[in-house]
Amino acid sequence: MRHKMLQRCTGIIEYNEPVPDGSVRTPIERMNFWATVREDLAAHGGDWSRPGFQAVFVHRFGVWRMGVNPKVLRAPLSMTYRTLYRVVRNVYGIELPYSARLGRRVVFEHQHGIVVHGNSVIGDDCIIRHGVTLGIRSLDRLADAPVLGRGVNVGAGAKIVGHVRIGDGASIGANAVVLEDIPDGALAVGVPARVVARTPQMAAMVNGPDDALERGRNARRRPVGEPIHVLVVIVNYKTSALTLRCLESVERERNHPGIVIQAVVIENASGDSAALAQGIEQRFASWARLIDSPVNGGFGAGNNLGFRAAFESGNPPDYFHILNPDTEVREGGIAELVRFLEDHPRAGLAGSNYENADGSPWPAAFRFPTPLGEVESGVALKAVSRLLAGYAVFRRMGDHPESVDWLPGASMMLRRKMIEQIGGFDEGYFLYYEETDLCRRAAAAGWECWFVPTSHVMHIRGQSTGVTVLGGPPRRLPGYWFESRRRYYTANHGVPQAVLADLAFLTANGLGMLKKKLRGENVTPFLLRDFVRNSVVWPQNRTPAPRRCYRPKRTADAEHPSE
Protein backbone atom coordinates (compact mmCIF):
# COMPACT_ATOMS: atom_id res chain seq x y z
CA MET A 1 0.00 0.00 0.00
CA ARG A 2 2.80 2.44 0.84
CA HIS A 3 4.44 1.87 -2.57
CA LYS A 4 1.14 2.49 -4.38
CA MET A 5 0.58 5.67 -2.39
CA LEU A 6 4.08 6.90 -3.21
CA GLN A 7 3.56 6.05 -6.84
CA ARG A 8 0.51 8.31 -6.95
CA CYS A 9 2.20 11.14 -5.05
CA THR A 10 5.65 11.25 -6.64
CA GLY A 11 7.65 10.75 -9.75
CA ILE A 12 9.05 7.47 -8.43
CA ILE A 13 7.16 4.69 -10.16
CA GLU A 14 6.91 1.01 -9.34
CA TYR A 15 6.45 -0.47 -12.79
CA ASN A 16 7.17 0.27 -16.45
CA GLU A 17 4.90 3.23 -17.15
CA PRO A 18 3.99 4.31 -20.71
CA VAL A 19 4.47 8.02 -21.46
CA PRO A 20 2.70 10.14 -24.11
CA ASP A 21 5.36 9.69 -26.79
CA GLY A 22 4.80 5.93 -26.76
CA SER A 23 8.02 5.06 -24.96
CA VAL A 24 8.24 3.34 -21.61
CA ARG A 25 9.74 4.89 -18.49
CA THR A 26 11.69 2.33 -16.51
CA PRO A 27 11.33 2.57 -12.72
CA ILE A 28 14.54 3.09 -10.79
CA GLU A 29 13.84 -0.05 -8.76
CA ARG A 30 14.26 -2.13 -11.93
CA MET A 31 17.36 -0.39 -13.24
CA ASN A 32 20.83 -1.87 -12.97
CA PHE A 33 22.95 -0.15 -10.32
CA TRP A 34 25.64 0.95 -12.76
CA ALA A 35 23.07 2.06 -15.34
CA THR A 36 21.57 4.31 -12.67
CA VAL A 37 25.00 5.68 -11.79
CA ARG A 38 25.78 6.42 -15.44
CA GLU A 39 22.48 8.29 -15.72
CA ASP A 40 23.23 10.25 -12.55
CA LEU A 41 26.67 11.14 -13.91
CA ALA A 42 25.17 12.44 -17.14
CA ALA A 43 22.62 14.47 -15.16
CA HIS A 44 25.52 16.12 -13.30
CA GLY A 45 27.23 17.18 -16.51
CA GLY A 46 29.49 14.14 -16.78
CA ASP A 47 31.71 15.46 -13.97
CA TRP A 48 32.31 12.71 -11.43
CA SER A 49 34.07 15.16 -9.10
CA ARG A 50 30.94 17.24 -8.49
CA PRO A 51 29.87 16.90 -4.84
CA GLY A 52 26.26 16.46 -5.91
CA PHE A 53 27.07 13.41 -8.00
CA GLN A 54 29.21 11.92 -5.26
CA ALA A 55 26.38 12.37 -2.74
CA VAL A 56 23.90 10.66 -5.07
CA PHE A 57 26.39 7.85 -5.80
CA VAL A 58 26.85 7.15 -2.08
CA HIS A 59 23.07 7.13 -1.67
CA ARG A 60 22.65 4.65 -4.56
CA PHE A 61 25.41 2.48 -3.08
CA GLY A 62 23.69 2.52 0.30
CA VAL A 63 20.42 1.37 -1.22
CA TRP A 64 22.10 -1.30 -3.36
CA ARG A 65 24.10 -2.89 -0.53
CA MET A 66 20.85 -3.52 1.41
CA GLY A 67 19.96 -6.11 -1.23
CA VAL A 68 23.18 -8.06 -0.76
CA ASN A 69 22.72 -11.40 0.99
CA PRO A 70 23.76 -13.13 3.15
CA LYS A 71 24.25 -10.44 5.75
CA VAL A 72 27.84 -11.52 6.38
CA LEU A 73 28.68 -10.25 2.89
CA ARG A 74 26.72 -7.07 3.47
CA ALA A 75 28.64 -6.11 6.62
CA PRO A 76 31.83 -4.77 4.95
CA LEU A 77 29.68 -2.94 2.37
CA SER A 78 27.73 -1.29 5.19
CA MET A 79 30.95 -0.16 6.85
CA THR A 80 32.09 1.32 3.54
CA TYR A 81 28.74 3.07 3.07
CA ARG A 82 28.79 4.59 6.56
CA THR A 83 32.30 5.92 5.99
CA LEU A 84 31.41 7.44 2.60
CA TYR A 85 28.19 8.88 4.00
CA ARG A 86 30.09 10.69 6.74
CA VAL A 87 32.63 12.01 4.23
CA VAL A 88 29.89 13.44 2.00
CA ARG A 89 28.06 14.92 4.99
CA ASN A 90 31.10 16.41 6.72
CA VAL A 91 33.10 17.54 3.67
CA TYR A 92 30.41 18.52 1.17
CA GLY A 93 27.63 19.41 3.59
CA ILE A 94 25.07 17.13 1.90
CA GLU A 95 23.12 14.90 4.31
CA LEU A 96 21.33 12.31 2.19
CA PRO A 97 20.58 9.03 4.04
CA TYR A 98 19.93 5.91 2.02
CA SER A 99 16.43 5.56 3.51
CA ALA A 100 15.28 8.66 1.58
CA ARG A 101 13.63 7.67 -1.71
CA LEU A 102 15.38 9.17 -4.72
CA GLY A 103 14.06 9.11 -8.27
CA ARG A 104 16.04 9.15 -11.50
CA ARG A 105 18.29 12.01 -12.64
CA VAL A 106 18.02 13.93 -9.36
CA VAL A 107 20.60 16.73 -9.42
CA PHE A 108 22.18 18.34 -6.36
CA GLU A 109 23.29 21.46 -8.19
CA HIS A 110 25.22 22.95 -5.27
CA GLN A 111 26.69 21.84 -1.95
CA HIS A 112 26.72 22.88 1.73
CA GLY A 113 23.76 23.01 4.08
CA ILE A 114 21.64 20.39 2.27
CA VAL A 115 19.67 18.18 4.68
CA VAL A 116 17.25 15.49 3.47
CA HIS A 117 15.23 13.63 6.11
CA GLY A 118 15.37 9.85 5.84
CA ASN A 119 11.63 9.55 5.12
CA SER A 120 11.63 12.16 2.35
CA VAL A 121 10.72 11.26 -1.22
CA ILE A 122 12.26 13.03 -4.23
CA GLY A 123 10.85 12.30 -7.69
CA ASP A 124 12.56 12.07 -11.07
CA ASP A 125 14.40 15.06 -12.58
CA CYS A 126 14.34 17.25 -9.46
CA ILE A 127 16.97 19.93 -8.81
CA ILE A 128 18.16 20.67 -5.25
CA ARG A 129 20.39 23.66 -4.43
CA HIS A 130 22.53 24.70 -1.48
CA GLY A 131 20.95 25.38 1.90
CA VAL A 132 17.84 23.28 1.16
CA THR A 133 16.17 21.34 3.97
CA LEU A 134 13.58 18.59 3.52
CA GLY A 135 12.59 17.91 7.11
CA ILE A 136 9.93 17.14 9.68
CA ARG A 137 7.98 19.50 11.91
CA SER A 138 8.31 17.67 15.21
CA LEU A 139 10.07 14.64 16.70
CA ASP A 140 6.79 12.92 17.51
CA ARG A 141 5.90 12.74 13.80
CA LEU A 142 9.05 11.27 12.27
CA ALA A 143 7.24 9.76 9.31
CA ASP A 144 5.77 13.07 8.14
CA ALA A 145 8.45 14.11 5.66
CA PRO A 146 8.08 15.98 2.35
CA VAL A 147 7.19 14.31 -0.95
CA LEU A 148 8.51 15.96 -4.14
CA GLY A 149 6.97 15.10 -7.50
CA ARG A 150 8.74 14.98 -10.84
CA GLY A 151 10.71 17.93 -12.13
CA VAL A 152 10.56 19.99 -8.93
CA ASN A 153 13.05 22.88 -8.89
CA VAL A 154 14.02 23.89 -5.35
CA GLY A 155 15.73 27.27 -4.93
CA ALA A 156 18.70 27.91 -2.66
CA GLY A 157 17.93 28.09 1.03
CA ALA A 158 14.37 26.76 0.74
CA LYS A 159 12.88 24.80 3.64
CA ILE A 160 10.16 22.19 3.01
CA VAL A 161 8.93 20.68 6.27
CA GLY A 162 6.25 18.25 7.32
CA HIS A 163 4.06 15.90 5.33
CA VAL A 164 3.60 18.19 2.32
CA ARG A 165 3.46 17.28 -1.36
CA ILE A 166 5.20 19.39 -3.99
CA GLY A 167 3.48 18.86 -7.33
CA ASP A 168 5.07 17.86 -10.62
CA GLY A 169 7.01 20.66 -12.30
CA ALA A 170 6.61 23.04 -9.36
CA SER A 171 9.29 25.58 -8.42
CA ILE A 172 10.14 26.66 -4.89
CA GLY A 173 11.72 30.10 -4.67
CA ALA A 174 14.96 30.82 -2.87
CA ASN A 175 14.65 30.95 0.95
CA ALA A 176 10.96 29.99 0.84
CA VAL A 177 9.47 28.06 3.78
CA VAL A 178 6.90 25.54 2.56
CA LEU A 179 4.36 24.29 5.09
CA GLU A 180 1.47 23.30 2.79
CA ASP A 181 0.99 21.32 -0.42
CA ILE A 182 2.05 23.03 -3.66
CA PRO A 183 0.07 22.11 -6.81
CA ASP A 184 1.54 20.93 -10.11
CA GLY A 185 3.36 23.56 -12.14
CA ALA A 186 3.16 26.21 -9.43
CA LEU A 187 5.71 28.77 -8.30
CA ALA A 188 5.81 29.23 -4.52
CA VAL A 189 7.77 31.99 -2.79
CA GLY A 190 7.97 33.72 0.58
CA VAL A 191 7.77 32.88 4.28
CA PRO A 192 5.49 31.02 4.65
CA ALA A 193 5.46 30.09 0.97
CA ARG A 194 2.48 31.06 -1.15
CA VAL A 195 1.67 30.23 -4.74
CA VAL A 196 2.17 33.25 -6.98
CA ALA A 197 1.86 31.61 -10.41
CA ARG A 198 0.80 28.39 -12.12
CA THR A 199 2.15 27.48 -15.52
CA PRO A 200 0.98 24.42 -17.47
CA GLN A 201 4.29 24.11 -19.28
CA MET A 202 6.08 23.54 -15.97
CA ALA A 203 3.62 20.81 -14.99
CA ALA A 204 4.44 19.20 -18.32
CA MET A 205 7.70 18.02 -16.77
CA VAL A 206 5.70 14.97 -15.66
CA ASN A 207 6.34 13.71 -19.19
CA GLY A 208 10.11 14.00 -18.87
CA PRO A 209 12.73 16.78 -19.13
CA ASP A 210 13.02 16.80 -22.92
CA ASP A 211 9.26 16.99 -23.43
CA ALA A 212 8.99 19.71 -20.80
CA LEU A 213 11.74 21.72 -22.44
CA GLU A 214 9.97 21.52 -25.78
CA ARG A 215 6.68 22.59 -24.22
CA GLY A 216 8.39 25.47 -22.40
CA ARG A 217 10.03 26.50 -25.66
CA ASN A 218 6.74 26.45 -27.54
CA ALA A 219 4.99 28.39 -24.78
CA ARG A 220 7.55 31.20 -25.14
CA ARG A 221 7.86 31.17 -28.91
CA ARG A 222 7.85 34.68 -30.33
CA PRO A 223 5.27 35.80 -32.84
CA VAL A 224 6.34 35.17 -36.42
CA GLY A 225 8.54 37.98 -37.67
CA GLU A 226 9.24 39.52 -34.26
CA PRO A 227 13.00 40.16 -34.05
CA ILE A 228 15.20 39.48 -31.04
CA HIS A 229 17.08 42.56 -29.83
CA VAL A 230 20.60 42.32 -28.42
CA LEU A 231 22.64 45.19 -26.99
CA VAL A 232 26.39 44.62 -26.85
CA VAL A 233 28.03 46.51 -23.96
CA ILE A 234 31.80 47.13 -24.10
CA VAL A 235 33.60 48.92 -21.26
CA ASN A 236 36.77 50.62 -22.53
CA TYR A 237 39.77 51.68 -20.48
CA LYS A 238 42.84 52.66 -22.51
CA THR A 239 42.06 49.98 -25.12
CA SER A 240 40.54 52.05 -27.95
CA ALA A 241 42.24 50.09 -30.77
CA LEU A 242 41.10 46.77 -29.32
CA THR A 243 37.59 48.11 -28.77
CA LEU A 244 37.25 49.11 -32.43
CA ARG A 245 38.50 45.68 -33.53
CA CYS A 246 35.94 44.11 -31.22
CA LEU A 247 33.20 46.20 -32.86
CA GLU A 248 34.38 44.97 -36.25
CA SER A 249 33.81 41.39 -35.15
CA VAL A 250 30.35 42.31 -33.82
CA GLU A 251 29.47 43.99 -37.10
CA ARG A 252 29.99 40.70 -38.92
CA GLU A 253 27.37 39.14 -36.64
CA ARG A 254 24.67 41.62 -37.64
CA ASN A 255 23.66 39.67 -40.75
CA HIS A 256 21.89 36.90 -38.82
CA PRO A 257 18.18 37.00 -39.70
CA GLY A 258 15.80 37.66 -36.84
CA ILE A 259 18.45 39.19 -34.56
CA VAL A 260 18.92 42.95 -34.27
CA ILE A 261 22.29 43.82 -32.76
CA GLN A 262 23.28 47.24 -31.47
CA ALA A 263 26.20 48.28 -29.31
CA VAL A 264 27.15 50.81 -26.69
CA VAL A 265 30.75 51.58 -25.73
CA ILE A 266 31.37 52.95 -22.24
CA GLU A 267 34.53 55.07 -22.12
CA ASN A 268 35.59 54.75 -18.49
CA ALA A 269 37.39 58.10 -18.14
CA SER A 270 40.64 56.79 -19.64
CA GLY A 271 41.28 59.53 -22.19
CA ASP A 272 40.21 57.45 -25.21
CA SER A 273 37.03 59.40 -25.92
CA ALA A 274 38.26 61.25 -29.01
CA ALA A 275 39.70 58.15 -30.69
CA LEU A 276 36.59 56.11 -29.96
CA ALA A 277 34.21 58.85 -31.08
CA GLN A 278 36.04 59.20 -34.40
CA GLY A 279 36.21 55.45 -35.01
CA ILE A 280 32.55 54.85 -34.18
CA GLU A 281 31.35 57.83 -36.23
CA GLN A 282 33.32 56.74 -39.30
CA ARG A 283 32.57 53.01 -39.24
CA PHE A 284 29.74 52.00 -36.88
CA ALA A 285 27.52 55.07 -36.47
CA SER A 286 24.33 53.35 -37.64
CA TRP A 287 24.27 50.79 -34.82
CA ALA A 288 26.80 51.77 -32.12
CA ARG A 289 27.17 54.75 -29.84
CA LEU A 290 29.59 56.07 -27.25
CA ILE A 291 28.85 57.00 -23.64
CA ASP A 292 31.51 58.90 -21.68
CA SER A 293 31.63 58.05 -17.99
CA PRO A 294 32.71 61.02 -15.86
CA VAL A 295 34.67 58.69 -13.55
CA ASN A 296 36.28 55.28 -13.75
CA GLY A 297 33.96 53.34 -11.48
CA GLY A 298 35.23 49.95 -12.59
CA PHE A 299 33.92 47.13 -14.77
CA GLY A 300 30.57 46.68 -13.06
CA ALA A 301 29.79 50.39 -12.87
CA GLY A 302 30.64 50.78 -16.55
CA ASN A 303 28.30 47.99 -17.60
CA ASN A 304 25.58 49.41 -15.38
CA LEU A 305 25.82 52.66 -17.36
CA GLY A 306 25.03 50.66 -20.48
CA PHE A 307 22.08 48.95 -18.76
CA ARG A 308 20.77 52.28 -17.49
CA ALA A 309 20.94 53.93 -20.90
CA ALA A 310 19.02 51.03 -22.48
CA PHE A 311 16.26 50.96 -19.87
CA GLU A 312 15.87 54.73 -19.78
CA SER A 313 15.47 54.76 -23.55
CA GLY A 314 12.10 53.07 -23.01
CA ASN A 315 12.97 50.21 -25.38
CA PRO A 316 15.45 47.90 -23.62
CA PRO A 317 16.73 44.84 -25.52
CA ASP A 318 15.81 41.23 -24.88
CA TYR A 319 19.43 40.42 -24.06
CA PHE A 320 22.57 42.29 -23.00
CA HIS A 321 25.83 40.85 -24.33
CA ILE A 322 28.79 41.92 -22.20
CA LEU A 323 32.04 41.87 -24.18
CA ASN A 324 35.54 42.76 -23.10
CA PRO A 325 37.35 45.11 -25.49
CA ASP A 326 40.11 42.50 -25.87
CA THR A 327 37.73 39.98 -27.45
CA GLU A 328 36.72 39.18 -31.01
CA VAL A 329 33.50 37.32 -31.73
CA ARG A 330 33.86 34.36 -34.07
CA GLU A 331 31.21 33.56 -36.65
CA GLY A 332 27.87 32.78 -35.00
CA GLY A 333 29.14 33.59 -31.51
CA ILE A 334 26.29 35.97 -30.62
CA ALA A 335 23.56 34.03 -32.44
CA GLU A 336 24.46 30.82 -30.56
CA LEU A 337 24.05 32.52 -27.18
CA VAL A 338 20.69 33.96 -28.27
CA ARG A 339 19.50 30.59 -29.56
CA PHE A 340 20.44 28.88 -26.30
CA LEU A 341 18.70 31.46 -24.11
CA GLU A 342 15.59 31.36 -26.29
CA ASP A 343 15.46 27.57 -25.90
CA HIS A 344 16.15 27.58 -22.14
CA PRO A 345 13.75 29.97 -20.38
CA ARG A 346 15.25 29.30 -16.94
CA ALA A 347 18.72 30.36 -18.08
CA GLY A 348 19.47 33.93 -17.06
CA LEU A 349 23.11 33.97 -18.18
CA ALA A 350 25.02 32.20 -20.94
CA GLY A 351 28.74 32.37 -21.64
CA SER A 352 30.98 31.67 -24.61
CA ASN A 353 33.70 29.14 -25.37
CA TYR A 354 37.03 31.03 -25.42
CA GLU A 355 40.16 30.69 -27.48
CA ASN A 356 43.46 32.44 -26.96
CA ALA A 357 45.03 34.81 -29.48
CA ASP A 358 47.17 31.95 -30.83
CA GLY A 359 44.06 29.86 -31.49
CA SER A 360 44.53 27.47 -28.58
CA PRO A 361 41.30 26.64 -26.71
CA TRP A 362 40.45 27.99 -23.27
CA PRO A 363 36.97 26.54 -22.52
CA ALA A 364 36.56 28.01 -19.05
CA ALA A 365 33.85 28.23 -16.43
CA PHE A 366 34.07 28.29 -12.64
CA ARG A 367 32.74 26.99 -9.34
CA PHE A 368 31.91 29.41 -6.56
CA PRO A 369 34.90 30.09 -4.27
CA THR A 370 35.07 28.16 -1.00
CA PRO A 371 37.75 27.69 1.69
CA LEU A 372 38.59 24.24 0.27
CA GLY A 373 38.79 25.76 -3.18
CA GLU A 374 41.39 28.17 -1.80
CA VAL A 375 43.38 25.18 -0.56
CA GLU A 376 43.19 23.41 -3.93
CA SER A 377 44.43 26.39 -5.93
CA GLY A 378 46.98 27.61 -3.39
CA VAL A 379 48.86 24.39 -2.64
CA ALA A 380 48.99 23.43 -6.36
CA LEU A 381 49.82 19.77 -5.75
CA LYS A 382 48.36 17.08 -8.01
CA ALA A 383 47.43 14.85 -5.08
CA VAL A 384 45.58 17.68 -3.32
CA SER A 385 43.89 18.71 -6.56
CA ARG A 386 42.62 15.17 -7.12
CA LEU A 387 41.30 15.00 -3.56
CA LEU A 388 39.58 18.40 -3.78
CA ALA A 389 38.57 18.24 -7.45
CA GLY A 390 34.96 19.01 -6.56
CA TYR A 391 36.04 22.31 -5.00
CA ALA A 392 38.46 23.52 -7.69
CA VAL A 393 37.24 26.94 -8.82
CA PHE A 394 38.43 26.54 -12.42
CA ARG A 395 36.49 24.11 -14.61
CA ARG A 396 37.80 23.10 -18.03
CA MET A 397 34.63 22.57 -20.04
CA GLY A 398 33.79 20.04 -22.72
CA ASP A 399 31.84 20.04 -25.97
CA HIS A 400 28.34 20.04 -24.49
CA PRO A 401 26.35 22.82 -22.78
CA GLU A 402 26.61 22.62 -19.00
CA SER A 403 25.06 24.43 -16.08
CA VAL A 404 27.84 26.12 -14.09
CA ASP A 405 28.22 28.31 -11.00
CA TRP A 406 29.66 31.36 -12.73
CA LEU A 407 31.16 32.53 -16.00
CA PRO A 408 33.99 34.84 -17.08
CA GLY A 409 32.68 38.30 -17.86
CA ALA A 410 34.63 38.60 -21.10
CA SER A 411 31.68 37.30 -23.16
CA MET A 412 28.49 36.79 -21.19
CA MET A 413 24.90 37.28 -22.33
CA LEU A 414 22.31 38.34 -19.73
CA ARG A 415 18.55 38.06 -20.00
CA ARG A 416 16.88 41.45 -19.58
CA LYS A 417 14.18 39.99 -17.32
CA MET A 418 16.84 38.67 -14.96
CA ILE A 419 18.38 42.14 -14.64
CA GLU A 420 14.94 43.55 -13.95
CA GLN A 421 14.54 41.09 -11.11
CA ILE A 422 17.96 41.08 -9.40
CA GLY A 423 19.56 44.28 -10.71
CA GLY A 424 22.86 44.80 -12.46
CA PHE A 425 26.40 44.53 -11.15
CA ASP A 426 27.31 45.53 -7.61
CA GLU A 427 29.39 48.69 -8.08
CA GLY A 428 31.11 47.99 -4.77
CA TYR A 429 33.46 45.78 -6.81
CA PHE A 430 35.90 47.85 -8.83
CA LEU A 431 37.31 44.89 -10.74
CA TYR A 432 37.25 41.12 -10.16
CA TYR A 433 34.54 39.05 -8.44
CA GLU A 434 31.73 41.25 -9.80
CA GLU A 435 30.56 38.57 -12.24
CA THR A 436 30.93 35.93 -9.50
CA ASP A 437 28.67 37.97 -7.25
CA LEU A 438 26.14 38.56 -10.05
CA CYS A 439 25.94 34.84 -10.86
CA ARG A 440 25.47 33.98 -7.19
CA ARG A 441 22.61 36.48 -6.86
CA ALA A 442 21.07 35.05 -10.03
CA ALA A 443 21.28 31.50 -8.69
CA ALA A 444 19.70 32.57 -5.39
CA ALA A 445 16.79 34.01 -7.39
CA GLY A 446 16.31 30.77 -9.32
CA TRP A 447 18.08 31.66 -12.58
CA GLU A 448 20.51 29.23 -14.21
CA CYS A 449 23.97 29.98 -15.60
CA TRP A 450 25.18 28.02 -18.65
CA PHE A 451 28.35 27.44 -20.63
CA VAL A 452 27.55 27.33 -24.38
CA PRO A 453 30.40 25.62 -26.30
CA THR A 454 29.08 26.52 -29.77
CA SER A 455 29.58 30.24 -29.12
CA HIS A 456 33.24 30.97 -29.88
CA VAL A 457 35.06 34.14 -28.83
CA MET A 458 38.76 34.97 -28.98
CA HIS A 459 40.01 36.57 -25.78
CA ILE A 460 43.44 38.16 -25.31
CA ARG A 461 43.54 37.55 -21.57
CA GLY A 462 45.02 40.34 -19.49
CA GLN A 463 44.78 43.18 -22.01
CA SER A 464 41.82 44.80 -20.27
CA THR A 465 43.22 44.55 -16.75
CA GLY A 466 46.99 44.46 -17.21
CA VAL A 467 47.23 41.88 -14.41
CA THR A 468 47.37 38.54 -16.25
CA VAL A 469 50.54 37.98 -18.25
CA LEU A 470 50.43 34.82 -20.36
CA GLY A 471 53.86 33.26 -20.62
CA GLY A 472 55.54 35.85 -18.42
CA PRO A 473 56.33 36.17 -14.73
CA PRO A 474 53.36 36.93 -12.45
CA ARG A 475 52.76 40.55 -11.51
CA ARG A 476 51.89 42.02 -8.15
CA LEU A 477 48.14 41.96 -7.61
CA PRO A 478 46.47 45.38 -7.31
CA GLY A 479 44.76 46.41 -4.09
CA TYR A 480 41.30 46.19 -5.63
CA TRP A 481 41.74 42.44 -6.20
CA PHE A 482 42.06 41.88 -2.44
CA GLU A 483 39.21 44.31 -1.73
CA SER A 484 36.90 42.55 -4.19
CA ARG A 485 37.71 39.12 -2.81
CA ARG A 486 37.09 40.32 0.74
CA ARG A 487 33.80 41.92 -0.27
CA TYR A 488 32.61 38.76 -2.01
CA TYR A 489 33.17 36.53 1.02
CA THR A 490 31.84 38.90 3.64
CA ALA A 491 28.79 39.98 1.62
CA ASN A 492 27.79 36.48 0.52
CA HIS A 493 28.98 34.22 3.32
CA GLY A 494 29.50 36.34 6.41
CA VAL A 495 32.58 37.08 8.48
CA PRO A 496 33.19 33.58 9.97
CA GLN A 497 33.49 31.89 6.57
CA ALA A 498 35.49 34.83 5.24
CA VAL A 499 37.99 34.38 8.07
CA LEU A 500 38.15 30.65 7.36
CA ALA A 501 38.72 31.33 3.67
CA ASP A 502 41.49 33.80 4.49
CA LEU A 503 43.25 31.31 6.76
CA ALA A 504 42.94 28.64 4.06
CA PHE A 505 44.37 31.05 1.48
CA LEU A 506 47.33 32.03 3.64
CA THR A 507 48.21 28.47 4.62
CA ALA A 508 47.80 26.97 1.14
CA ASN A 509 49.57 29.76 -0.73
CA GLY A 510 52.35 29.82 1.83
CA LEU A 511 53.01 26.13 1.16
CA GLY A 512 52.56 26.59 -2.57
CA MET A 513 55.00 29.48 -2.75
CA LEU A 514 57.56 27.54 -0.70
CA LYS A 515 57.30 24.67 -3.17
CA LYS A 516 57.75 27.03 -6.14
CA LYS A 517 60.77 28.74 -4.62
CA LEU A 518 62.44 25.41 -3.93
CA ARG A 519 61.91 24.57 -7.60
CA GLY A 520 63.20 27.96 -8.74
CA GLU A 521 59.84 29.04 -10.13
CA ASN A 522 58.43 32.58 -10.13
CA VAL A 523 55.88 33.57 -7.50
CA THR A 524 53.46 36.47 -7.29
CA PRO A 525 55.37 39.39 -5.73
CA PHE A 526 54.34 40.45 -2.20
CA LEU A 527 51.28 38.19 -2.33
CA LEU A 528 51.21 37.09 1.31
CA ARG A 529 52.15 40.52 2.68
CA ASP A 530 49.44 42.25 0.63
CA PHE A 531 46.92 39.59 1.55
CA VAL A 532 47.54 39.89 5.29
CA ARG A 533 47.14 43.66 5.08
CA ASN A 534 43.72 43.23 3.43
CA SER A 535 42.55 40.19 5.38
CA VAL A 536 39.25 39.91 7.22
CA VAL A 537 41.16 38.86 10.34
CA TRP A 538 41.51 42.61 11.03
CA PRO A 539 38.27 44.03 12.49
CA GLN A 540 38.42 47.16 10.30
CA ASN A 541 38.10 44.95 7.19
CA ARG A 542 35.01 43.04 8.26
CA THR A 543 32.12 45.31 7.31
CA PRO A 544 31.46 45.55 3.57
CA ALA A 545 29.84 48.66 2.16
CA PRO A 546 26.16 48.25 1.19
CA ARG A 547 25.44 46.83 -2.25
CA ARG A 548 25.18 49.39 -5.05
CA CYS A 549 23.35 47.69 -7.93
CA TYR A 550 21.51 49.48 -10.69
CA ARG A 551 17.87 48.35 -10.47
CA PRO A 552 15.69 49.20 -13.46
CA LYS A 553 11.93 49.43 -13.36
CA ARG A 554 10.45 46.08 -14.33
CA THR A 555 8.56 45.92 -17.61
CA ALA A 556 5.05 44.57 -17.78
CA ASP A 557 6.20 41.17 -19.08
CA ALA A 558 8.99 40.68 -16.54
CA GLU A 559 8.93 37.13 -15.26
CA HIS A 560 10.53 34.73 -12.82
CA PRO A 561 12.62 31.95 -14.37
CA SER A 562 9.95 29.43 -13.45
CA GLU A 563 7.09 31.32 -15.06
Pick the most confident of 11-20, 244-253, 459-468: 244-253
> Do 58 and 36 contact (CB within 8 A), yes or no?
no
> Do 19 and 114 contact (CB within 8 A), yes or no?
no
> Do 447 and 418 contact (CB within 8 A), yes or no?
yes
Of the two residues 80 and 214, the one the predictor is more confident about is 80
Q: Which residues fall within 8 angstroms of residue 513, CB to CB, at 6 or more apart?
A: 523, 524, 527, 528
In this predicted structure, what is the pLDDT of residue 286?
Answer: 96
Of the two residues 140 and 87, the one the predictor is more confident about is 87
394 pLDDT exceeds 90?
Answer: yes
Pick the most confident of 162-171, 190-199, 299-308: 299-308
In this predicted structure, what is the pLDDT of residue 467?
Answer: 60
Mean pLDDT across the stretch 405-409? Answer: 95
Q: Is 79 exposed, middle or buried (0-12, 13-18, 19+ CB in 10 A)?
A: exposed
Query: 106 pLDDT band (50/70/90 cuts)?
Result: very high
Of the two residues 140 and 98, the one the predictor is more confident about is 98
Taking alpha carbons only, the member of 325, 132, 163 closest to residue 233 is 325
Q: How many Å apart are CA 23 and CA 31, to the nearest integer?
A: 16
Mean pLDDT of the chain: 86
- Does the pTM surpass 0.85? The reply is no
In this predicted structure, what is the pLDDT of residue 463?
Answer: 58
Mean pLDDT across the stretch 179-189? Answer: 91
Which amino acid, one-letter code, is at 409?
G
Q: Can you tell me whether residue 72 is helix, strand or coil?
A: helix
Q: How many Å apart are CA 552 and CA 488, to the nearest integer?
A: 23
Which amino acid, one-letter code, is at 264?
V
Query: 139 pLDDT band (50/70/90 cuts)?
Result: confident
Q: Is 368 exposed, middle or buried (0-12, 13-18, 19+ CB in 10 A)?
A: buried
Mean pLDDT across the stretch 102-114? Answer: 91
Instruction: Express each pLDDT in 267-318 by its tens digit.
Output: 999 999 999 999 999 999 999 999 999 999 999 999 999 999 999 999 999 9
What are the Cα distances from residue 540, in Å, to 27, 365, 495, 533, 543? 57, 33, 12, 11, 7
Q: Which residues fall within 8 angstroms of residue 312, CB to CB, at 6 or more apart?
A: none
141 pLDDT exceeds 90?
Answer: no
Q: How many Å apart are CA 535 and CA 141, to the nearest integer?
A: 47
In this predicted structure, what is the pLDDT of residue 9?
Answer: 40
111 pLDDT exceeds 80?
Answer: yes
Query: 201 pLDDT band (50/70/90 cuts)?
Result: very low
Give the residues across from 107 on adjacent strands.
Answer: 127
Phi, psi of 122 (to 5 degrees): -125, 120
Mean pLDDT across the stretch 340-362? Answer: 94
In this predicted structure, what is the pLDDT of residue 559?
Answer: 52
Query: 47 pLDDT band (50/70/90 cuts)?
Result: confident
